[in-house]
Amino acid sequence: MHWKEKLRAKAAAPGSRPVARPMVLTSAAGGMVTTEAGRMVNMSSNNYLDLANAPPVRAAAAEALERYGLGLASVRFLSGTHALHLELERATRELLHADDCIAFGSCFDANAGIFEALLDDGDRIVSDELNHASIIDGVRLAKASRLRYRHCDLEDLERLLREGPGTGITMIVTDGVFSMDGSLAPLADLVRLAGRYGALLMVDDSHGIGTLGATGRGTAEHFDMLGQVDIITGTYGKALGGAMGGFVAAGREIIELLRARSRPYLFSNPIPASLAAGVIAAMKLMQSEPLRLGRLRESTRFLRTQLAEFGFDVPAGVHPIAPVMLRDSHRTRSLVAHARSNGVLVSGIEYPVVPRGTERIRLQVSAGHTLEQLSTVIQVLARGLGEMRTA
């Protein structure tokens, strides 16, 4: 069989096709977007605080683009470190109450580059079974032994920790917010277990920063654990402006090792200075305009309450990710198509992203949504679900 035929066979296999093809946008990000199919309520964006198109963010990025150009055409350790990169790292570490910070081209790069750089033979990684793909791929690159504990199961985690680290380092790894269902890691308990067994605790808080905590500082602030998590990774591509870039915030000894050994940092160009300027502006807005977080929380409560009243199967939670559980691929694809044809941009999630039997539509609330828009979303989904039940 020719290699082309082999690839066609792989492409035709279950799990190789998306639930729906990507919708092409022709507008800026927001609660409403213009697409090739017309104006739609956007329920598929990580633009939680509606900062991606905020005028001060755009102005800061535009000014830096005009002043510094498109990029530096170099990796960080040669001539690719700009003063704005250092300012971004400083702002991030201060936001998260960390000693130091290192910025990457993406959070995927940050997670892909951390384990191999910090851990060697004789070390152990103990990872939640539902962690993000970037963590899974990063763990595969490390020489350390790899163990998985059942999702948010503290007894199973402690059983693995009790087996003993030998003379090496044990690292506990978890998402702060699990992106497919919006559930939170039991962070206070994880900090306690890490301390009891002398383990290093790493949390990917990509979906927590900007959504959780009294001031939006993330899962650690939500659980009153700011400054007590050894390593926090995250992204600048969600609540903090929605563009791109990632980071690791941790102690200085960890960051120094990453600067010396992390391959994505050493061998990839950084984000442009213009995007760094935009993210810095977004961080300042998040802190100076707390009403954004207030609107996000009000809208999240409204959506979750209304979904429950309409009888949708939505797990309880406080995060703006609200999964509508359909538990069937055909139903998921049908409801996605119905929503999109009625002006609501939603995303269906199915195998292999989630296990079979847990297929869902993932709704994501933004501070840019109005309650009227969210009411429209619920009505459209309710009609679609009703039509499927009577079909």
Catalytic residues: 179, 207, 238
Residues 6+ apart with CB under 8 A from 292: 49, 50, 51, 285, 286, 367
Which of the 8 DSSP states describes residue 25? B
Look up residue 246 and give its two tokens.
Answer: 């990632």
Q: Which CA distances in Å does 57 have to 104, 284, 364?
A: 20, 9, 22
The residue to which tokens 């609540």 are assigned: 239
Cis peptide before 352 (omega within 30 of 0): yes
Using a 10 angstrom Cβ sphere, with 0-12 exposed, 13-18 middle and 19 or more buried, the burial of residue 330 is exposed
| Rounded Cα–Cα distance for residues 359 and 374 (Å) | 22
CB 184 within 8 A of CB 130: no
CB 112 within 8 A of CB 139: no
Q: Helices (DSSP H) in 270-370: which residue ranges? A: 273-288, 291-309, 329-341
Q: What is the 3-state secondary structure (H, E, C) of 330-349?
A: HHHHHHHHHHHHCCEECEEE
What residue type is 71 in one-letter code? Answer: G
Cα-to-chain-centroid distance, residue 380: 27
Look up residue 223 and give its two tokens.
Answer: 């659980």
Sign (positive/negative) of CA torsion 374, 376, 378, 380?
negative
Length of the chain counted residue by residue: 391
The residue to which tokens 């009227």 are assigned: 372
| Nearest of 219, 261, 285 to residue 47 by alpha carbon | 285
